[in-house]
Homo-oligomer: A and B are copies of this chain.
Amino acid sequence: MDHTRWLDAEEMRMWTAFLGAGTLVDRELDLQLKEETGLTHLQYGIMAALSDSPRGAMRMTELAERLINSKSGLTYQVGQLEKAGLVRRKPCDWTRGIVAELTDEGRAALERAAPGHVAKVREVIVDVLTPEERRVIADALGRVRDRLLEGEEGTCW
């Protein structure tokens, strides 16, 4: 009873490209960020998320969802950033909980880090693709992501 539909050559080509690119791109960005700014990609992600947020602050759980990370992982990394003086925790005004907020120093660090980071993102992926490819990937992988996010409703790690 082998009902398994194995991957054909073309499907496998896509799958390995996707996996390999994901791993390598991530590593490359991590190296560049650590090298130039001492931040990890995750830490940069946290700060970028805070900076994007309309209030300049986010609740821990929102952060965890947005960055797709476990709550305890976030607690740890926000702790690191707090030690470094880049982020501050404070009780949340508009609802129970705690928000993380960029300090002035944190905002400055992010602004210093951003140009190099964006340049690297362009170098390793954005500028390597054609506009058409970017469009297709945005649609296709956006769909993949959204389906997984939905399936996750109410899941809490």
Chain A interface (Cβ within 8 Å of chain B)? Answer: 2, 4-7, 10-11, 13-15, 17-18, 20-28, 68, 114-115, 118-119, 121-122, 124-126, 128-145, 147-149
Docked complex Cα distance between A23 and B29 (Å)? 15
A118-B4 CB under 8 A given contacts A137-B136, A137-B137: yes
Question: Are B145's CB and A4's CB within 8 A?
Answer: no
Specify which of B4, B24, B121 is in contact with A148 (CB 8 Å cutoff).
B24
Q: How many copies does the complex hold?
A: 2
Question: Are B126's CB and A147's CB within 8 A?
Answer: no
A145-B17 CB under 8 A given contacts A5-B122, A122-B5, A140-B133: yes
Complex A-B: 16 CB contacts under 8 Å: A2-B115, A7-B118, A10-B134, A14-B138, A14-B141, A17-B140, A17-B141, A18-B22, A21-B142, A24-B68, A24-B144, A25-B144, A128-B140, A130-B140, A136-B137, A136-B140
Question: Are A4's CB and B141's CB within 8 A?
Answer: no
Query: Which of A26, A68, A133, A140 counts the most B-chain CB atoms under 10 A from its CB?
Result: A140
Question: Are A134's CB and B24's CB within 8 A?
Answer: no
**Least CB separation from A24: chain B residue:** B148
Question: Are B128's CB and A147's CB within 8 A?
Answer: yes
When distances are taken between beta carbons in the complex, the residues of chain B under 8 Å from A14 are 126, 129, 134-135, 137-138, 141
